[in-house]
Structure 1
Amino acid sequence: MKPSLQLRISQHLALTPQLQQSIRLLQLSTLELNQEIERILLENPMLEREGGEDDDGAVAPVAEAPVALAEEFSGESLPRGDEEHEAPGVTEMPDNISDAYESVSDDDIGEAAEWRNEGSSGSRNNDDEDADFQEFQAATTSLREHLLSQIALMPLTDRDRALVQLVVEALDDDGWLNQALDELLPLIPAEWDVELEELEIALHHVQNLDPVGIGARNLQECLLLQLRGLPEGEVRQLAMGIVDGNLELLAARDFARLKRRLGCNDDALRAAQELVCSLNPRPAAQFADTDTRYVIPDVVVRKVRGAWSASLNPEAMPRLRIHRVYADILQNNRGVSSSLSSQLQEARWLIKNVQQRFDTILRVSQAIVDRQRQFFDHGEVAMRPLTLREIAEELELHESTVSRVTTQKYMATARGVFELKYFFGSHVSTDTGGACSATAIRALIRQLVAAEDSKKPLSDARIAELLGQQGIVVARRTIAKYRESLNIPPVSQRKSI
């Protein structure tokens, strides 16, 4: 063997930093996009938001496309700034970036960050620059604070109060005591010489606190504590008989055996069942920390002159532009700093990529609306089967591009807010040779279950028969899978007295 030179011709796609940024911005959610833009704003002085605190009306507008889209959405003219100043000598983005989207797979740039369902804050009031609007979460009382405030009012010795507080500290978020009392003894100083009976007394004090049912060690004890706090009566007595040893029969809906054991009729058992079902198995749920998160839709669907039309949501669109002061410095002193020129180039690319992102989202959203018009008119039962390939072929995009656009992007409609991926689904063949969407089948199952006789609920096989009568051929196992996805219990658990 000897060394040799060979000439080989091949084609490959080079992912430039600008193209990588364009693809990455396309797959980000609204929250992640705002976080990315905030990071870039801190690093790049050539970029700023329109309507910022330093807005004096003398800036160079370069984000014309988002402004135009916002005007189309709201029907009003939005401020654009001074149009006489334009940063010179900057290379424009190639026109074929949409084609570049099509040739890149998900593996080329990695996976998108995990979405957190949060919304971004609204626009700033420019009339009052000194106002600083912030959102504060209302202060809530924790379970521990609520219980300790009641313990402070109890006539207890310091020793007993300390033991009661120890039991309170051992409660979980639902208000249950999942530890055995003897497991708490090693936590107490040995010199206290505490007996197990003293901890049981402390637990009894805790179980008398509000909310009722606190300090229970299992479901049966939790429900019994709540029943004992109710006024005496026949229904209460029957409910206690159900909880004390017959919960399994109630869960299995074995009403015949329940009536024999309790010696009651249907009406009395029905009243006792309703009482048991009204109890709270998680008495401390009201004190749990809840973090409500909101979604700002990227697209809004409205009916205009009898036709459904998609429009971009201005609240989800960041409005960016070049900072005029730095642009003028670069224009008047081009040889001063090469870093400023590079940052200006990066700012122009970012603005262009953001424009391209929203343009692609709008195109895909309108294509979805055109395919699913029956859904917007009649609801889930009219949902058509739809795949990513159909939208990709219609818009001449790659499937991976459509997948990025429909992930973590939301559409506000008259029927609610949905992720764009919600409108895609598999299909089931019908007797007539057509196809029915899986979403429509789930809606039909929900309707059939809602209209069923609670004394004779529909089995999965019967639901399959009823759908077959409508020309939709679905196997019983498929019905069971769809029913479970809708959190509908099986027929044995839907039966009532």
Structure 2
Amino acid sequence: MGLILQQRQELKLLMTSQLRQSIELLQYSTNDLEQLIRQQELENPLIELQESDRSAQIEKLPSFQSARNSAPLFQATTINFRDQLIQLVHLSFKENEIKKLLEYIISHLDYKGYLEIDGIESPYSTEQLTKGIKLLQQICPAGIGARSIAECLLLQINSHDPEYPMLKELIGHYLPLLAENKWKIIARKMNCSVAQIQKYNDLIQRLNPRPCILSNSETTEYVHPDIIVENQEDELIFYLNEHYLPKIHLNEYYLNTSFTNLEDRHYIHNHYKNYRWLVSSIEQRRHTITQIMHVLIKKQLPFFRNGLSSLVPLTLKEVADEIGMHESTVSRATSNKYVQTPAGTFEMKALFTSKVLTNDGKQISQEKVKTLVKQIIQKENKYQPYSDQKISEYLNTEYAIRIARRTVSKYREELKIPTASMRRKWQ
């Protein structure tokens, strides 16, 4: 067996560190990009920054549109609620023993306002803790310091509705059955009508099971839009919200300095390459996002005017094919970014939605179907609410949309709408 020497020509794409960084930079939000630029200034003597106007556009992030993968960009001042309660105790009570008891209770409240002392060797008896909780009710939100959700609700009932003995019995003994909407069983056990149980349930719904949110990070979330779409003279225009980013300039002093040391020359040369990489990568990011936005405005024009309910089916691949890029590039460029529109501020990813086929072969977006499901449930007979199967049949009959019962169930859960049995009202 002899050795053979062969020559073979191959074409390979090597992923350099700078190429990898350029790809990662596509995923940066504008706020992340600013931090990267400032970090590069610290590391690279050839980079000089010229500050821009800091008055960037900022919008409050609504709770129903909380960022899926993003942390809040700006936070309100943290409030230590326990300290406030302790101050209130010192203003309301004079006896040191009472102050110490209430301070002990406050220090053991969880973030919802419940007293958590299970497994803790308490210096106070159950009777003393109960007395302390009653004192706390006099100066704090009703329900605070409760040891269970039932006790929390009962404390609020005692505070507002002491004339409902059956309501207290319902909370004290049948709360788990009530949570499962087993009203008939409860009515039989309590020897009353289902309509009466529903009346009590409506009263309970008005109570607060979390009377005092005690969080170490009580913050307000804000979103910083990366792209802004505006309506000017009945025409949509957009621009990247980058005006607050510092401008990058080359410090030519080091570049024009003659270094005799080879190591110094390599040092300056490498930093010059990094400078050029940063500038070109930011420009490439800007160009990619701009190309994607041109397609999105063309394809999703009704959305930009009316909001999520007007979204048409659109996939990452369709946009990628339109601009001649890879689907993964579009995915990266639209990640961690928000677009401010005349209809509200949304995650850029929200503009892409899967399609549902109608019986006549037309396409409709999932968001549109969800909107229809919500509208059907809002208009239903509350005494005979639609099951998921009935909603599926209704969509097929009235809108020629054929979707399975389990799909309706999935959309309903995403909309946080309870089941038909949970929605049903009793006469």
**Residue in 2 aligned with 1:171?**
109
Unaligned runs of 5+ in 1: 54-69, 74-113, 121-135, 189-193
CA spacing shift, 1:232–1:437, aligned 2, 3 Å: same
Question: Quick check: 1:252–1:492 contact (8 Å CA) kept in 2?
Answer: no
Matches within 5 A, 1:34-433: 34-51=34-51, 115-119=69-73, 137-138=76-77, 140-143=79-82, 145-147=84-86, 149-150=88-89, 153-156=92-95, 158=97, 161-180=99-118, 183-185=119-121, 188=123, 198-209=125-136, 210-230=140-160, 232-233=162-163, 236-255=164-183, 261=190, 263=192, 266=195, 272-285=200-213, 289-315=217-243, 318-323=245-250, 326-331=251-256, 333=258, 337-338=264-265, 339-433=267-361
Question: Quick check: 1:426–1:437 contact (8 Å CA) kept in 2?
Answer: yes
Matches within 5 A, 1:453-464: 453-464=381-392
Q: Secondary structure at 1:308's aligned position in 2?
A: strand
CA spacing shift, 1:453–1:152, aligned 2, 3 Å: same
CA spacing shift, 1:263–1:329, aligned 2, 3 Å: closer
**Residue in 2 aligned with 1:487?**
416
Name which one, 1 or 2, has greater alpha-carbon Rg. 1
Q: Equivalents in 2 of 1:16, 1:410: separation in Å?
A: 30
Residue deviations 1:187-236, cap 9 Å, x none? 65xxxxx7xxx343134213431122122111111100111112544xx4
- 1:152 Cα shift? 6.9
Question: Quick check: 2:229–2:237 contact (8 Å CA) kept in 1?
Answer: yes
Q: Equivalents in 1 of 2:362, 2:126: separation in Å?
A: 69
Question: Quick check: 2:29–2:226 contact (8 Å CA) kept in 1?
Answer: no
Q: Secondary structure at 1:244's aligned position in 2?
A: helix
CA spacing shift, 1:137–1:390, aligned 2, 3 Å: closer
Question: Quick check: 2:52–2:246 contact (8 Å CA) kept in 1?
Answer: no
CA spacing shift, 1:437–1:413, aligned 2, 3 Å: same
- 1:23 Cα shift? 1.2
Q: Equivalents in 1 of 2:270, 2:87: separation in Å?
A: 61
Q: Equivalents in 2 of 1:404, 1:41: separation in Å?
A: 25
1:452 counterpart = 2:406: no
Question: Quick check: 1:296–1:410 contact (8 Å CA) kept in 2?
Answer: yes
**Residue in 1 aligned with 2:64?**
none
**Residue in 2 aligned with 1:128?**
none
- 1:388 Cα shift? 1.2
Residue deviations 1:90-121, cap 9 Å, x none? xxxxxxxxxxxxxxxxxxxxxxxx9533337x
Identical aligned residues as a percent: 31
- 1:349 Cα shift? 2.0
- 1:492 Cα shift? 0.9
Question: Quick check: 2:89–2:102 contact (8 Å CA) kept in 1?
Answer: no
Question: Quick check: 1:144–1:169 contact (8 Å CA) kept in 2?
Answer: no
Q: Equivalents in 1 of 2:257, 2:100: separation in Å?
A: 75
CA spacing shift, 1:118–1:344, aligned 2, 3 Å: farther
Residue 224 of structure 1 aligns with an amino acid whose one-letter code is: L
Q: Equivalents in 1 of 2:416, 2:2: separation in Å?
A: 71
Question: Quick check: 1:176–1:215 contact (8 Å CA) kept in 2?
Answer: yes
Q: Secondary structure at 2:380's aligned position in 1?
A: coil
- 1:437 Cα shift? 1.4
Unaligned runs of 5+ in 2: 58-67
Q: Secondary structure at 1:48's aligned position in 2?
A: strand
- 1:175 Cα shift? 1.7
- 1:354 Cα shift? 0.5
Q: Secondary structure at 1:404's aligned position in 2?
A: helix
Residue 115 of structure 2 aligns with an amino acid whose one-letter code is: L
Residue 41 of structure 1 aligns with an amino acid whose one-letter code is: E
Q: Secondary structure at 2:160's aligned position in 1?
A: coil
CA spacing shift, 1:115–1:462, aligned 2, 3 Å: closer
Question: Quick check: 1:167–1:202 contact (8 Å CA) kept in 2?
Answer: yes
Q: 478-487 or 450-459: which moved more? A: 450-459
**Residue in 1 aligned with 2:24?**
24
Residue deviations 1:254-313, cap 9 Å, x none? 5556566364795x6665433321111111216663232322111112234434333212
- Aligned pairs, how many? 406
Q: TM-score, normalised by structure 1?
A: 0.73
**Residue in 2 aligned with 1:101?**
none
Q: Equivalents in 1 of 2:214, 2:103: separation in Å?
A: 20
Question: Quick check: 2:255–2:268 contact (8 Å CA) kept in 1?
Answer: yes
Q: Secondary structure at 1:447's aligned position in 2?
A: helix
Residue 204 of structure 1 aligns with an amino acid whose one-letter code is: K
- 1:25 Cα shift? 0.8
The alignment's C-alpha RMSD in Å is 3.1
CA spacing shift, 1:242–1:395, aligned 2, 3 Å: same
Residue 425 of structure 1 aligns with an amino acid whose one-letter code is: T
Q: Secondary structure at 1:352's aligned position in 2?
A: helix
Q: Equivalents in 2 of 1:212, 1:475: separation in Å?
A: 45
Q: Secondary structure at 1:425's aligned position in 2?
A: coil
Residue deviations 1:6-58, cap 9 Å, x none? 211111112334322221211222333222222111111221322379xxxxx
**Residue in 2 aligned with 1:106?**
none
Residue 166 of structure 1 aligns with an amino acid whose one-letter code is: Y
